[in-house]
Amino acid sequence: MGLLTEGHPLSWEETKKYAQYVREHGVEQFINTYKELKDRRNDSLQWGDEVEFMIIRFDHEKKKVHLLLKAHEILPILMEPENQNPDDCTTLWRPEYADYMIEGTPGKPYGYLPVHFNMVEANMRLRRQQGQELLDKDEYVLSTSNFPRNGCPDCSWPTYKPTTDTSASASLFFPDEFIFADHPRFKILTRNIRLRRNSKVAFNIPIFIDTNTPRPFIEDFSIYGDTAGVNTTAAIKDHIYLDAIGLGTGCSCLQVTFQAQSIDEARFLYDQLIPLTPIMLAMSAASPIWRGYLTEIDCRWNVLCAMSDDRTTEEEGSEPLKNERFRIPKSRYSSVDCYISPDSAKYNDQEVVQDMNVFHKLIENDIDHLLAQHIAHLFIRDPLILFEEQLHLDDTKDTDLFENINSTNWQSMRFKPPPADSDIGWRVEFRPTELQMTDFENAALVTFIVLLTRAILTYNLNLLIPISNVDENMKFAQQRDALRHQKFHFRKSLATEQTPDAPFLTSIQKNKSQEPEYDKTECEHCLMTINEIINGSNKFVGLLNIIQNYLSNIDLDADTQDTINQYLDLISRRAAGTLMTNATWMRHFVANHPVYKHDSVVTDEIAYDLLWKMTKITNDEEECPEVVRKKPSKTTLDVTAAVEQDNNELEIKQSLINNNQ
């Protein structure tokens, strides 16, 4: 979760004082980066995934499952290879917000060889194994977006009681001890968000009304020690109340980052992936249970938006603007607000709140409107955490203050300029995907996204729809069983006018424009089901067909082909509804559990059984044919043959070119 700077953190009061300073220097740093690196060309594609694993502990006797607060013990061991040999690791590890989370990435980015798609799952499995090796009996590494009983009493091991008057979060449910303590960042973030907004974060999730759910559903918080009755105002009937940053940031996601060839390609890919954010959210839905209750949502996204929301009441709009600079419609954790490529301007149909000083400064420095708008929008935010050491930097060389703001805007996509002093280029991060319970599924989702970007670039496609429609889609995507029941705005025709003109085609194209139905003002998008979007229909090509088309023109080795086929098959079936999302499967599991009383309550025992089942499925000890149907995939970490072949080809070519000169 962002920069893990070392050093001396400032208090909130001091941090607040430096807000403008941080912004000014951050913008300066961006301008310098831009000027120096806007013409940078990176020759090859590089990409990688991030998985935020959870560690849990089972008490088989008492039929209870806990979040295991052990990350601080195992992370130093996991990170040891990197300390010894930073350039030669197969996996890399980082801490995350909670002491039950460990974040793993591949040691080296994947590249352009098709065979790399065959490595993703193997590397994810390796990460899981590396974590697992360091755990004791009954302790397991799990991958899922949300721990169903997070925030319930005694949901951790060791067990702690939240202390509302002294904790950083002041939460009724989430003790400070859950927060990873070996790096000050996370506690400070927690405290500062609360101090800035001058109240606890709060979110209410509609409860899933089952046959025996009490009507109205009103929670009794006294068991949580709510003596002051503080939360009767914040909680709403028929909703589940959440009040801790950690209940959001302690969720896990699956992220993919790409390095683009140039800043233009990065901006292009950033834009093209935006319409896919709600689609992937719906496809990966894995969080139907919150604080031990079945809810009406299947995804973590909006919870995270609310739990990381540092806006004051003035900024939110519930009070008139007096001390704050802007009215801000969204949390700093939210879906993106604008496209950033010059050609996308017409799709930015929503007002984007911007710091106009920043905007003008960027324009003066020859940065175009769309990019200036994006940065000016990010910079409406205050820094949430500041280290003394970051205050006196060289703006021509360092990027820490820019990153301070950029990395605390947690959006569905992130545009990442090259860091100072590195070989790394302009990058784009795809952030909405929920984490699935098996490595196979996670690899499938990642592979799908990467292949789609290759196809978009190959066929010059355009997926853009107005940003307001993307926001609507984000709302639709998170609803219970959205994949099967919702329709989403999606562009009808993905081919662009920029595809090269083939003259022997002009007769066809001309005829098309003479057709009576051809109407230039006709809406470019319409509502489609996930099935139509992914698998196509007689009116829409379908994203999978585009990918298949692309793959048929690439030399794939048999093993990679087999693996990719399996991944695409999963995507296809899930989109068609013949395989379930993790969320739907979890709901079914609860509904069919002998102990479930159809009152929306997921008890300790039900949660224990659910997570134990998931653990066995993850470790290939049991099958889950409703969600995943596969034979063992051919995924492997060993790609030396293919890499050698590629190197040989390059050598031959090089000598050929040299000889001809």
Partner 1 sequence: MSTEPQDDNQSKPEPVLKPFFPKATEILFYTGNTLALFELVKKANSSITDEVIEYMSLMLQAMIKNTDVKKYQEENYVKLASVQDDNNSAANNGTTAGVPIDQEQLTREDLKISVKVFLRSLAPEVLTHTINTVLNELKENYLESFMISLPNYGSQLTLQEFMPLWNIIEDFIDKQKILSAGVCDFMLPLLSDLYDRAKHKPYANQINLGVCCSIPEELNKYVKENNIQLLTHSDPIDVINESDFQQTIREYCHEYDALNWKPCSIVRYTSVIANRGIIKSKGFFIYAKRELRMTE
Quick one: 11 or 655, whose CB is closer to partner 1?
Answer: 655
Strands (E), 174-319: 203-206, 239-242, 254-259, 289-290, 293-294
Q: Binding to partner 1 by residue 639, rule CB under 8 A? A: no
CB of 570 to partner 1, least distance (A): 17
Q: How many CB atoms lie within 10 A of CB 325?
A: 13
Q: Binding to partner 1 by residue 561, rule CB under 8 A? A: yes
Judged by CB under 8 A, the stretch of 37-45, 64-72, 439-447, 600-608 that binds partner 1 is 37-45
Residue linked to tokens 């006196």: 392
634: buried, middle or exposed (CB in 10 Å: 19+, 13-18, 0-12)? middle
Quick one: 199 or 493, whose CB is closer to partner 1?
Answer: 493
As a whole number of angstroms, the distance between CA 171 and CA 200 comes to 8
Q: Which of 61, 421, 515, 519 binds partner 1 (CB under 8 A)?
A: 515
Quick one: 398 or 532, whose CB is closer to partner 1?
Answer: 532
Q: Rule CB under 8 A: which of 334-393 touch partner 1?
A: 341
CB of 491 to partner 1, least distance (A): 13
| Cα atoms in the Cβ-side hemisphere of radius 13 Å centred on 392 | 3
As a whole number of angstroms, the distance between CA 136 and CA 132 comes to 8
Judged by CB under 8 A, the stretch of 90-98, 296-304, 320-328, 498-506 that binds partner 1 is 498-506
Q: Which of 159, 498, 578, 647 binds partner 1 (CB under 8 A)?
A: 498
Q: Binding to partner 1 by residue 320, rule CB under 8 A? A: no
Q: Binding to partner 1 by residue 548, rule CB under 8 A? A: yes
Q: Binding to partner 1 by residue 554, rule CB under 8 A? A: yes
Q: Binding to partner 1 by residue 638, rule CB under 8 A? A: no
- 416, 417, 419, 420: CA torsion to nearest 10: -160
Q: Binding to partner 1 by residue 526, rule CB under 8 A? A: no
Q: Binding to partner 1 by residue 550, rule CB under 8 A? A: yes
Token output for 598: 């159809």
Contact by Cβ (8 Å): 599, 213 = yes
Q: Binding to partner 1 by residue 647, rule CB under 8 A? A: no
Quick one: 133 or 649, whose CB is closer to partner 1?
Answer: 649
Q: Binding to partner 1 by residue 503, rule CB under 8 A? A: yes
CB of 604 to partner 1, least distance (A): 46
Quick one: 341 or 409, whose CB is closer to partner 1?
Answer: 341
Judged by CB under 8 A, the stretch of 225-233, 378-386, 456-464, 478-486 that binds partner 1 is 456-464
Residue linked to tokens 């799709």: 347
Q: Binding to partner 1 by residue 652, rule CB under 8 A? A: yes
Judged by CB under 8 A, the stretch of 43-51, 131-139, 183-191, 195-203 that binds partner 1 is 43-51
Strands (E), 118-215: 139-142, 156-157, 203-206
Contact by Cβ (8 Å): 104, 127 = yes
CB of 262 to partner 1, least distance (A): 7
3-state secondary structure of 615: helix
Residue linked to tokens 């994810």: 124
Token output for 658: 């040299």
DSSP state of 538: S
Q: Binding to partner 1 by residue 556, rule CB under 8 A? A: yes
Q: Binding to partner 1 by residue 397, rule CB under 8 A? A: no
Q: Residue 511: phi, psi to the nearest 5?
A: -60, -40
As a whole number of angstroms, the distance between CA 58 and CA 583 comes to 22
Q: Which of 96, 243, 265, 434 binds partner 1 (CB under 8 A)?
A: 265
Contact by Cβ (8 Å): 67, 53 = no
Q: Residue 559: phi, psi to the nearest 5?
A: -65, -45
Q: Which of 2, 81, 114, 329 binds partner 1 (CB under 8 A)?
A: 114
632: buried, middle or exposed (CB in 10 Å: 19+, 13-18, 0-12)? exposed
Q: Which residues pair with 179 in a beta bridge?
A: 98
Buried b (16+ CB within 10 A) or exposed e, 591-627: eebeebeebbbbbbbbbbbbbbbbbebbbeeeebeeb
Contact by Cβ (8 Å): 25, 400 = no
Quick one: 199 or 460, whose CB is closer to partner 1?
Answer: 460
Residue linked to tokens 């935010």: 381
Judged by CB under 8 A, the stretch of 76-84, 107-115, 392-400, 419-427 that binds partner 1 is 107-115
Judged by CB under 8 A, the stretch of 15-23, 142-150, 356-364, 535-543 that binds partner 1 is 535-543
Positions that interact with partner 1 (CB under 8 A): 41, 43-45, 111-112, 114, 261-262, 264-265, 267-269, 341, 454, 456-461, 493, 495-496, 498-505, 507-508, 511, 515, 536, 541-542, 545, 548-550, 552-559, 561-562, 565, 641-642, 645, 649, 652-653, 656-657, 659-660
